Amino acid sequence: MKVLVADEISKSGVELLKSQGYAVDVRTGLKEDDLVKIIKDYDVLLVRSATKATRKVIEAGRLKVIGRAGIGVDNIDVDAATERGVLVMNAPSGNVISTAELTIGLMFALARRISQADASTKKGEWKRKEMKGAQIQGKTLGIVGLGRVGAEVAKRAAALGMIVVAYDPLVSPEVGAKLHVRLLPLDRLLRDADIVSVHTPLTPQTKDLIGKEELAKMKKGAFLINCARGGVVNEDALYETLSENGIAGAALDVFTKEPPAGSKLLTLQNIVLTPHLGATTIEAQEEVGSEIAEQVIAYVRDSSIRNAVNLPAKLDPEIAPYMPLAEKLGTMACQLGMFSASKVEVSCRGELAHKDIRIIVACVVTGLLRPMSEEFNVNYINALATARTRGIEVVSSTSDESGRYKNLISVELKANGGTVAVVGTLMSDKGARIVEIDGNSVDIEPEGNFLLIGHSDKPGMIGKVGTVLGDNDVNIASMEVARKQVRGPAMMILTLDDDLPPAVLEKVRRIPDLNSAISIKL
């Protein structure tokens, strides 16, 4: 077994691989063409963030594993690896403490104006009055994303005497209680918190999660910290807010473009910027190097897989076509449930009932967790374990009865004190379809942007919604209305050509006789 270590990892990690009899070459600083020339000689490629494992590199080799000593896999073409049957794994836990500690450090830097005071004093100034800060004790910290890093930040903040609240749709109230954290909707958290700290991955659902409207809801004297991923906080909106003193200050360790050359944020005085240092400690680098080495050894020696970020190439050919549908159903259930998931029930009906449905269940949970989970690489291998750590109960069942369909996958999510349910199938002429939402019969393709509206079935409702969308330049691609009885509760499903701006969604929600309006992205 030959291993290429293309970025620096800890010596202990390298020695661990060698102790198992692997031939290990450490060759750093390689460009794509260099890798293409030599990669065919190796079974395992280990990288950090510098080396790019591109499609060209992957297709030139015979790799069995690509390991990332760290959490992010942006530098690895995961799709190409999956197509070639290459397992991609990362080491997500080694830098948790380091990132949490940096967050606390930035919190103090903002509250006590440490960066500004340091720069001023080095200039020979003595501006004690101008550098008046604020105490941390007694302040409310709002954590957006209560995964591993968020949980560690919560523990440290509580020890500092802070009041800790959090927003995480996939954490149950029981888990929040164990952490002594009160779970809140995002709007409420933004209004209540003195400091908001972001700990979510960058996904289509979390891109620009903190934008102009969200920043406007924060207190004038509040601080914002992002040690998660660039793009979760809209940098243009943040610049505008900070330059107009909408909030007191911000601290960023991550950026949409890294390094952030030319960013307007570099010109501000009320912001602290660090060069993506979350995992850059001696201890974290030692930990992730050893962690990824141990995982590679476990996989090669025992076929034991931990922290894999892609699907294996070999799958049951009769089950495989249902996996994308199952994941979409989980994602839709997550977005319909919105807050404090506690239980998910997956039922496979029809011919699927005679298959091993564990992969289907795992795909549903993957779709459920991925939109808001800090473990943005969650997949069917680690989805069920991740759900357990978040206090989400997963139940599965089968039945031969599937009505007029050959097969059905049903997902029922208990969240926010209520229940949401979605049902999907594969049709020979249409492909994947969602055929039921909360008991209402529908027929929609699970792809794109949707607006789901609960309303009273009365004349004029369609027109009112269409008018609001039309006045705000939102184009409707298709629409259907589902109802169980005339003049009773109804559901309007609109397929939109573009993302629905939050401001427009708020206008829709203000329409009389409208019970709910939820934006869905699949």
Catalytic annotation, residues: 229, 258, 276
Parallel, antiparallel or unpaired: strands 163-167 and 140-144: parallel
Question: Looking at the DSSP assignment, which residues form a beta bridge with residue 481?
Answer: 492
Name the strand (E) or helix (H) holding 52: none
121 CB-near residues (< 8 Å, 6+ apart): none
320 CB-near residues (< 8 Å, 6+ apart): none
Question: Looking at the DSSP assignment, which residues form a beta bridge with residue 415?
Answer: 341, 418
Alpha-carbon distance 168 to 384, whole Å?
A: 18
Which is nearest to 46 in space by CA: 374, 310, 302, 294? 294
Q: Identify each DSSP E strand in 277-430 by its residue range.
A: 341-350, 393-399, 407-415, 418-427
Parallel, antiparallel or unpaired: strands 140-144 and 87-90: unpaired
DSSP, collapsed to helix, strand or coil, labels residue 101 as: helix
> Please, what's the largest Cα pairwise distance for the chain?
81
DSSP string, 156-216: HHHHTT-EEEEE-TTS-HHHHHHTT-EE--HHHHHHH-SEEEE-----TTTTTSB-HHHHH
Question: Looking at the DSSP assignment, which residues form a beta bridge with residue 4?
Answer: 25, 45
Question: 132: how many CB neighbours lie within 10 A of its CB?
Answer: 9
Question: Looking at the DSSP assignment, which residues form a beta bridge with residue 433?
Answer: 425
